[in-house]
Chain A
């Protein structure tokens, strides 16, 4: 059982969290101007790093999304930040 640090609630068991995707993706739009490749890239392509990863997670208990930095092999937690403008 890993402990994830919610920026608003503190360390909580991993089962209270839901993975939201890799951090830093920007939705390409408007649709008319987005190539199929660019859309597939946004929707599906992943860095999927072996090592340090920055990911969006949501703490289901409080409903806040945040960015979690962690190591995907050791599972060490390197930090958690609220979304910009959402600091606690």
Chain B
């Protein structure tokens, strides 16, 4: 039984030295021999999948197998932004579904994921960019997502620190505003799903690497792991940047390149930025964490890589972009920087659906945008595994689109130069 979290339980425990809190989630040392479903990857997507399998589809024998520590991949390495400001209806349907699930998640999981819907500005720096911004805002509104087109004054009012000097490389013309966009505490999303899934009977096994797939009669019936063989009725793959590695073990290739995506954190300062800020000109984005640190990100690395570490060329690009946007931030220091390995697909849209190996299902290809999609990615993969078929929201994201040519190319649709 899960011990409920609340202000009262906190006070009660406070009075007796917090000695009564149980483990947040059970920690089986090894997996059982067989499950109805096995999810490979103990990040947000994998844990959410297990949770929804148990919660919505009544599956009780579910395991999540994690190579390292829970939430240690991109779930614990991203810049925590959630938003649904996309161009194509298929994308808006997907990401807005995720955002709606996020909006109720703290209560659903009884775990405060600290969703802070402080809004996001995507700043445009020329009339051409304003035209593209208008195109995106209109697309979002028509597709049912909240969006506004801000003029220069509205933008400067939201972020007075923006560079408006005469020699600014990128003058502020206006911005796309999505008020429902926000940030959430990334670790809490993983821990909250883990705790809730565990309470529903899901086995979460850390330090358990999947080394191969059991195939019988052309169908995947389980996995080989560093802790022994595990059989399963269905297997879900939610391993982000390492999808190609597991696909190779399963005998197929994916349209994925793995790249490092870097993130940067400054020292904490008192509140100075109340929204999430992105610039089309610099490609840098940032928000301020509740702790006061600036959490900063930018473009992908240029060199395909599985090395989870930062490097100076991209650092210079992102940080110079940051200072060009917000010159006052030049007073601050960089505290930490790191990288996650993201799974980049040619059309920058995810892959959700059956894999070429029957019995094995995919949830990958999120590229730089996996965190914001965690609830939807898990929900949709659970639907696939439980029913064997697509939900309407995930259907357009099937692997088949690369053969028909029906790509959902967000970068292209948004008018970003190709």
State whether B302 touches A14 (Cβ < 8 A).
yes
Whether B304 contacts A55 by the Cβ 8 Å rule is: yes
Taking the nearest CB of chain B, how far is it from the CB of A70, in angstroms?
9
Q: Kindly list chain A residues whose C-beta atoms are within 8 Å of the C-beta of B306.
A: 50, 72-73
User: B236-254: which have CB < 8 Å to A?
Assistant: 242, 244-245, 248, 253-254
- A5-42 CB contact bits vs B (8 Å, 1 = yes)? 00000000111011100000000000000001101110
Of A14, A39, A72, the contact of B307 (CB 8 Å cutoff) = A72
- Whether A44 touches B258, Cβ cut-off 8 Å, given contacts A1-B313, A72-B304, is no
Main secondary structure of the interface of B (DSSP, over half): mixed
* Per-residue contact bits, chain B 379-418, to A (CB 8 Å; 1 contact, 0 not): 0000000000000000000000011100000000000000
Task: Tell whether, in the assembled complex, residue A36 and residue B404 are in contact, meaning their CB atoms are under 8 Å apart.
Answer: yes
A73 to B312, CA, bound (A): 17
- B113 contacts the other chain (CB 8 A): no
The answer to whether A19 touches B302 (Cβ under 8 A) is: yes
A-contact 0/1 string along B287-318, CB 8 Å cutoff: 00000000000000011111100011100000
Determine which of B242, B254, B303, B403 lies in contact with A50 in the assembled complex, contact meaning CB atoms within 8 Å: B242
Query: Do A48 and B313 contact each other (CB < 8 Å), given the known contacts A36-B404, A37-B403, A72-B304?
Result: no
- Does B257 sit at the interface, judged by CB under 8 A? yes
Closest chain A residue, CB of each to CB of B347: A44
Known: A2-B303, A74-B307. A15 touches B313 (CB 8 A): yes
Decide: A50 near B244, CB < 8 A? Known: A1-B311, A19-B303, A74-B307: yes
Within 8 Å of chain A (Cβ to Cβ): is B256? Answer: yes
- List residues of chain B with CB within 8 A of the CB of A50: 242, 244-245, 258, 306
- For A48, the chain B residues whose CB sits under 8 A away are 244, 253-254, 256-258, 304
Q: For chain B, residues 251 to 273, give those with C-beta under 8 angstroms from any C-beta of chain A.
A: 253-258
Q: Tell which of B253, B258, B302, B312 touches A45, judged by Cβ atoms closer than 8 Å.
A: B253
Report the separation of the CA atoms of residues A39 and B115 in the bound assembly, to the nearest whole angstrom: 43
Residues of the A chain whose Cβ atoms lie less than 8 Å from the Cβ of B244: 46-50
Q: Which of B253, B255, B304, B402 contacts A53 (CB 8 A)?
A: B304
Our pick among B255, B257, B303, B402 for the contact of A14 (Cβ within 8 Å) is B303
Q: How far is the CB of B157 from chain A (nearest CB, A)?
A: 37
- What distance in Å separates the Cβ of A71 from its nearest Cβ neighbour in chain B? 9
Q: For the complex, what is the distance from the CA of A37 to the CA of B399, rounded to whole Å?
A: 11
* Known contacts A40-B402, A48-B304, A72-B305; 13 further A-B pairs (Cβ under 8 A): A1-B311, A1-B312, A14-B303, A18-B302, A19-B304, A36-B403, A39-B403, A41-B253, A45-B253, A46-B253, A48-B244, A48-B258, A50-B244
Chain A contact residues, CB within 8 Å of chain B: 1-2, 13-15, 17-19, 36-37, 39-41, 43-50, 53, 55, 72-75
9 closest A-B pairs by CB: A44-B255, A48-B244, A45-B253, A40-B402, A36-B403, A40-B403, A50-B306, A73-B306, A50-B245
